[in-house]
Structure 1
């Protein structure tokens, strides 16, 4: 389950139709009926996304999120599926038509450093090398790909489903023409603070004849052992593309995640960057302050948006020296899906029947793994507050008071980051 945007819109006829079609899918008595309703929902979404009527979609999602989560999930799945995919019909010289399917894929890159994490335009030689490695090690026979000429930061990614839809179609045309396109680099993102650990993305359109596999592990000969083939493809992607990614991210440690459908890949990257942020923060503090991990203490508190709502949207981890109350550094651990209720969602790593790990227990585990044994959990749930002057998040100190995280005055000059 994904949460909708905070924006609300007046319910229109288009919004009501989306809600009705989504309810029909939930109540369908057969797969045949369900597929019929899905085609109708897809057609309605295609029309709205193509004409950039994002507000009608957002209004329907907001109503369902408050009143019917099962129907909300159906509509959200539909919006994401339609915005990250497309079909194209090509007429051959003999008059025969071929339908091509396209999927927008994100290839996430986890990066960490004490310096700046780069983003922006990818030079042509590196873009060509990455496209060749992507095609050789990940794609099924007959599939084609086009990589957008931008190493995306989070702030440069499409902001709405309509934006994603437009990018999907533009890149799909490029992939169908073997990369010969006029896709321009994305505009620079807003000037935000640099983080010790952050995510970068390659965005790729993959096209193949309709019904044909897109990725090599989907090919018939790999169906029985698709997981093994997928893991092998990821290892090859890391080995071959890694040096080129390193050129784009100088001075950074990097980890390449599995390229997958856009929304799934972005959610997975959002989760995977969190423990990296803890490791990067502890590394930074121990080296900057000249202390051992055991000389640090972590204070964990839950935060949400509304005063009278018990829902935790994120945990904030403040770091202090073990014998001192001042918070010298902090990171934010956002929650996704149902993590605020039951732990990791069923579609996540704990899906195989294992008991989900509560988010706060997962945070403590990662802190312990990097050598921080002194962890204090604050039982109070706070409304998310930020510094009025610089916009940085406030963290709970050991006494439970919300404070600004500040390094000691005698700390050597350098970047300070919050993530």
Structure 2
């Protein structure tokens, strides 16, 4: 289950109501035959809305269903994402099915993580690796010669659809995609994700990925291993001074969600590495404070955890990491028995069931033994001046994370 935009309008237009009705009909279908009829109508309505660039219509429908019908909400979200990341284009009398894919790259460093334009030779090399290890034979490909940061990705379904259409036409016609222009600045983080974006296309009904094609038996795990082996040296050269891990290139929204999840552990490890090296302290000289944050603290749902770091002998919060929750993760909190049971060494030897267990296990694995968790739920508050998240200190006050003034210059300042 994915959540709707926080800025969705409240008033429902006729098109929003139509999306809601179709999604509910599909969610309630009692057979695949009935479901496909609903799906066809829903896809047609979504195509109309995306073509008209009416993102507010989609947001309003999603917000209504999120509050009133979660099954239909999941149906509509999946359909809208599919509509944004895929299209059918006719070229020289042949209809092609095109899909926008993302190749996520997890990166971590003490310095800065690059983004921006990549050269033509590198683009061609990466395209060759995609063709060689992930794509079915004769699939057409157009890759944007840009290493995207999350701030530079399409911001909504309409923008995603526009990019998909443009790249699909380039892939099918065999023309080069243009690099990203007027890109917004990227916020500095110790651990962050970079993305390669491309459209792939094949005649309708033909396979897009190698694991779909019968002449190339295998699975996604084998494709990922080959992609990592061949492409990692190239990606490393684009991200000097960074550790990197490549995730599986696949459909845009799925790939982005998986990257969002996988960057969270890297953020904690990078934070501990940065703090211990910058401040010349051992990990057990740090203390971690965990707070549960929610858009609606009274409702009891956790939307994200925020982890504050302090020196053991100093109460000031010097750094913070946000661990957002996705899908059903917030519903899994009932599986946690007690904080004390999580902070025992045995937690590292058992299956981690919840994000909280994973966070504590990661902190312990990094060498941090002093861990505090606040029981109350905090509101999602941010700094009025810079917009950075506010983090809980030991006394449950929400504060700005600030590195000590005597930190050597050149290490960077991160929120």
The TM-score, its normalising length taken from structure 1, stands at 0.91
Choose from 262, 271, 287 the match for 1:297. Answer: 287
Aligned to 2:250: 260
How many Å separate the matches in 1 of 2:351 and 2:42? Answer: 35
User: For residues 247-396 of structure 1, what are the structure 2 equivalents within 5 Å?
Assistant: 247-306=237-296, 308-342=298-332, 357-396=353-392
CA shift, 1:307, in A, is 5.2
How many Å separate the matches in 1 of 2:297 and 2:332? Answer: 22
Moved more, 306-315 or 332-341: 306-315
Moved more, 393-402 or 10-19: 393-402
Aligned to 1:158: 154
1:145 lines up with 2:141 in the alignment: yes
Gaps of 5+ in 1: 92-96, 345-353
Which consecutive aligned stretches of 4+ in structure 1 deviate over 6 angstroms post-superposition? none
1:415 lines up with 2:415 in the alignment: no
CA deviation profile, 1:311-334 (whole Å, cap 9, x unmatched): 221111011112332211111111
Aligned to 2:94: 98
How many Å separate the matches in 2 of 1:388 and 1:15? Answer: 34
Alpha-carbon contact 1:343-1:356 (below 8 Å) kept: no
Aligned to 2:346: none
CA deviation profile, 1:67-103 (whole Å, cap 9, x unmatched): 1010111111100111111112334xxxxx4321111
* SS in structure 2 of the partner of residue 86 of structure 1: strand
Aligned to 2:5: 5
Choose from 216, 219, 237 the match for 2:213. Answer: 219
How many Å separate the matches in 1 of 2:5 and 2:394? Answer: 33
How many Å separate the matches in 2 of 1:188 and 1:355? Answer: 46
Aligned to 1:18: 19
Aligned to 2:343: none
How many Å separate the matches in 2 of 1:28 and 1:7? Answer: 31
Equivalent pairs, count: 398
How many Å separate the matches in 1 of 2:301 and 2:289? Answer: 19
Choose from 97, 105, 111 the match for 2:107. Answer: 111
CA shift, 1:222, in A, is 5.5
Aligned to 2:191: 197
Gaps of 5+ in 2: 335-349
How many Å separate the matches in 2 of 1:355 and 1:58? Answer: 37
How many Å separate the matches in 2 of 1:363 and 1:222? Answer: 39
How many Å separate the matches in 2 of 1:343 and 1:201? Answer: 31
CA shift, 1:190, in A, is 3.2
Alpha-carbon contact 1:156-1:187 (below 8 Å) kept: no
Aligned to 1:236: 226
